[in-house]
Structure 1
């Protein structure tokens, strides 16, 4: 799905250490506003997924809404195929989930009766009805396309501008996000930043999809997130740099990232015979570590792809954090991370080393609560680290769980502001409070 762009190993430190925040930068988001999940309309179960996200990114099929005649608007809150958005989005909203809708226009470029007029009217009407203050005020963001590479750049720019102006007219409170955007030229699965140049007043968020793909077709194997040989963090950081230089202050979202993890094996005689997935355990640890890494990269939100899978042994078809709606280890790991950090925000990177490990500090929203250090090693489980906690004392230590009700408490030795910890590829959280005087 995504091209492979070789990275220079000599640049590893620059690619993988979170860059320090600028002195005038706004604070990082609280984790409850940071952790998202990609879902899909009628199959999403808000009660099941609330423990692992506070934001849902929904793939909203525009053909469901408009049917065969794009010039005629649906009878809201129903799509023309009779799906009730009031029922679906209302149930998510009632659970406390916040919603970003991704307009799925990617495969309908030949279906518009009048693309400019119809797209404008549709987006305006949707925003009026479902945006903040609307009749069914459940949707806060609209994303203008997912991966619309089948539109050439002029066509995407036309539909982007039509929809964005429609949303701005219909409901100025609704926020607008781009499709999957990267620096450089447009490709099959993303648009280059030049495609929206000059339209800065028509979008509020830049979105990027990234997967840590180590080998392309027909293998599609993935690596760990800190791996300097894959264009994962590096390509995201390039978009952040572009944002800082061209549209300072606009949020960047990593709106898709993930790892396939299947129990089934591919058909040895089929087209996916050489496909390689990740283990359930690697999927869990790499997703959690990605959230931690993204939090230090001036990213505003990150959305795991995907919510559920049916255990299909093929690319992007085993990426769910549930399998047939039964939690995988990734589900339990993310739920633990979110519960621990939901009222915390990234504060600083204490260490980011492929050899010595990573230490990120998170500070609490509530005054007087302990800080949390997230500590892990990208590749090893037997590295002993000495942590200088200075004037802080350890309240508790937990290691990421891989199963429901798994024990997370671990023992950490040390005294007088020094802790000794054996690092793991599964992150450890340390709750540290000011030492008694």
Structure 2
């Protein structure tokens, strides 16, 4: 019976998509199709542009002999073949070129002349100071070989070789003050010179890409590491591959991806990472990737702004858990705690509904009828979800159940499709609006199942989605959260987790977007949502993926937010922002998501976590249980926004650039009622700037949404001359009521 229902739903709901494109959200690097080059180990040069930041090019090492094969470092590279060498004796039975051919398996026999002197001289292309000279040879019994530096004023002995040095690679460090024009080896007996090399420059390694033609570049993404072996690392660009310009000093040991935004767009053809390597044996460095983009980076351009239908208040929600951190059913909590507290700012709440709270094995079918009769679930005798969710609904929250199973070993799923189908059917049938109790309006398959193989998740998704729709077509269904900007990160890539076959059963596309950015030292930090290289912008890739594959379907951002200290609870991670920044970025982030057409934006988390102070533990709208869930500034900031414009929808942008973001909100009929403006900068940039813009309605009142109260702080009212507004804006959003 269930399978028949599935068939009927497919026939009714199949979407019309011209061509399914799993990579529709991806923005390729401008280096794609280019040619990679390296100073050493060229067999792995392709790794710097294979798109995979888990593969890398490893350099050779300048020492003890790696530099000898590099004409850019070895001042004597092939010098004999270039006729810069001479000997005192005859060359019968030997080859002059063998002394500088970068082979330790060939050698030049330097013979004595008529007066018993064996001499070899190699001229340098110019007068230089040598950093190091390496010599390998075979010296007869009782012989002595003197190594002379030839200068403009004569000879300077810099080393002596004896039979004890036979077959050894001898390193000679000349006086750095000596300017040499040639090197001379003189002995009283015939000797064999296997190889001689000289280094006049400091050791460096470089990996670079020729893009094939000039391209306008604004952002360069590199992943590199020197393992403590580099004195410095730099990012270089060039138009011709000859003249290079340094555009950034990089941290040699960053390791994590580093985004370098150029001060202005540049037309370039070549991009390279150069390591200045410490002198020493077997000192190697690495480059994983070199990528380049236009101003919009890996996220692509902002979509055109269009009027939205969802109000600010209806867009915003919060992530919660059973009992809201109290270890008690929500219906037992006072009216000022739990769902009632968060319903002050939230229209909906997303619960992390653990599958293993309902069944002990994912292939088992949950018995919610038994649970409803007070007999618990297979996994917990005491559990009754109906009682918990009823308290959420009574508080005025629309409930979104995120069924998560990532902690269950993937091997536990004997028949993932059938298991998913049965669970999805039982869940939607019991909690859905058509045949069930209507406590849950939306169900989600997986939250972040990123440790599961993609093919396993696809089968679970197919089962969940088909089962839920067979049970209740009115139950909103969405897949787990995935990203659409990085196909190499296969563990959470949308393109390989959501198959075309499941498209007819998906009502909403789901993603998580926190605002992170890697500094030049590779440390990840949290930044403002408008930062051009913030991961928050990954929503653009998701929207493009939606437009191509699920046109017209809503997008929900079911996790986003910032961690911050406050109320005596510290935040001990590089991704923390200040308490003030959390409030200000939160409001700005919601305004941006609304402008982008995101139907739901569900904040993570409802409260700080009591027993930790690191990433995601201090992202709450309130403090933890330890501070009695006291409201944070971010809670009040959202409440002040909704106080003024909670029932309003996004209408248009007036300005959206590096100087100011200015949005207009109003009624669904299109009447402007409010304007919101701010500077898209770090919250520490406290100055006000004056902006001028054209806008017909008149300003009436204005408030700064700082989060220090629930209505906003009165602000100077913008002035208007004819149709030109003059307004003071800062990093704090100012909301203006219109006449």
- Normalising by the residue count of structure 1, what TM-score does the alignment of the two structures yield? 0.88
1:315 shift after superposition: 1.2
Distance change (3 Å), C-alpha of 1:211 and 1:179 = same
1:366 shift after superposition: 7.2
Q: Does 1:240 find its partner at 2:543?
A: yes
2:717 to 389, 406, 412: 412
1:32 shift after superposition: 2.8
2:657 to 335, 344, 353: 353
Q: Distance in 2 between matches of 1:362 and 1:13?
A: 26
Q: Does 1:48 find its partner at 2:341?
A: yes
Higher strand share: 2
Q: Distance in 2 between matches of 1:243 and 1:276?
A: 29
Match of 2:320 in 1: 39
2:511 to 208, 212, 227: 208
Match of 2:675 in 1: 373
More deviation in 164-173 or 66-75? 66-75
Instruction: Show CA shifts across 1:324-372 (max 9, x none).
Output: 2111100000111223222111111110111x2110011224787x521
What does residue range 30-429 of structure 1 map to in structure 2 within 5 Å? 30-43=311-324, 45-68=338-361, 70-74=363-367, 75-77=370-372, 78-80=376-378, 81=380, 82-108=382-408, 109-112=410-413, 114-183=415-484, 184-185=486-487, 187=489, 190-198=492-500, 199-215=502-518, 219-233=523-537, 235-263=538-566, 264-265=569-570, 275-310=574-609, 312-324=612-624, 325-354=629-658, 356-365=659-668, 371-379=673-681, 380-388=685-693, 390-404=695-709, 408-416=713-721, 417-429=723-735
Distance change (3 Å), C-alpha of 1:349 and 1:389 = same
- Aligned-residue RMSD, C-alpha: 2.7
More deviation in 401-410 or 311-320? 401-410
Equivalenced residue count is 419
Distance change (3 Å), C-alpha of 1:42 and 1:187 = farther
The SS at the match of 1:326 is coil
Q: Distance in 1 between matches of 2:639 and 2:300?
A: 25
Distance change (3 Å), C-alpha of 1:18 and 1:113 = closer
More deviation in 335-344 or 157-166? 335-344
Match of 1:269 in 2: none
Larger Rg: 2
CA contact (8 A) 2:421 2:466 kept: yes
More deviation in 247-256 or 408-417? 408-417
1:382 shift after superposition: 2.4
CA contact (8 A) 1:321 1:330 kept: yes
Distance change (3 Å), C-alpha of 1:61 and 1:190 = same
CA contact (8 A) 1:71 1:113 kept: no
Relative contact order: is structure 1 or structure 2 higher (C-alpha 8 Å, sep ≥ 6)? 1
1:165 shift after superposition: 0.9
The SS at the match of 2:526 is coil
Q: Does 1:27 find its partner at 2:308?
A: yes
Unpaired segments of 5 or more residues in structure 1? 267-271
1:201 shift after superposition: 0.4
Q: Distance in 1 between matches of 2:305 and 2:693?
A: 22
1:170 shift after superposition: 0.7
Q: Distance in 2 between matches of 1:241 and 1:94?
A: 37
Q: Distance in 2 between matches of 1:292 and 1:265?
A: 28
CA contact (8 A) 1:262 1:277 kept: yes
CA contact (8 A) 2:546 2:553 kept: yes
CA contact (8 A) 2:365 2:426 kept: no
Distance change (3 Å), C-alpha of 1:68 and 1:162 = closer
1:145 shift after superposition: 0.6
Q: Distance in 2 between matches of 1:27 and 1:367?
A: 10
CA contact (8 A) 2:691 2:729 kept: no
CA contact (8 A) 2:649 2:666 kept: yes
- Normalising by the residue count of structure 2, what TM-score does the alignment of the two structures yield? 0.53
Distance change (3 Å), C-alpha of 1:309 and 1:145 = same
Instruction: Show CA shifts across 1:225-276 (max 9, x none).
Output: 111132321x21011012112221011111111111124457xxxxx7x645
Q: Distance in 2 between matches of 1:179 and 1:197?
A: 13
Unpaired segments of 5 or more residues in structure 2? 1-255, 266-293, 326-337
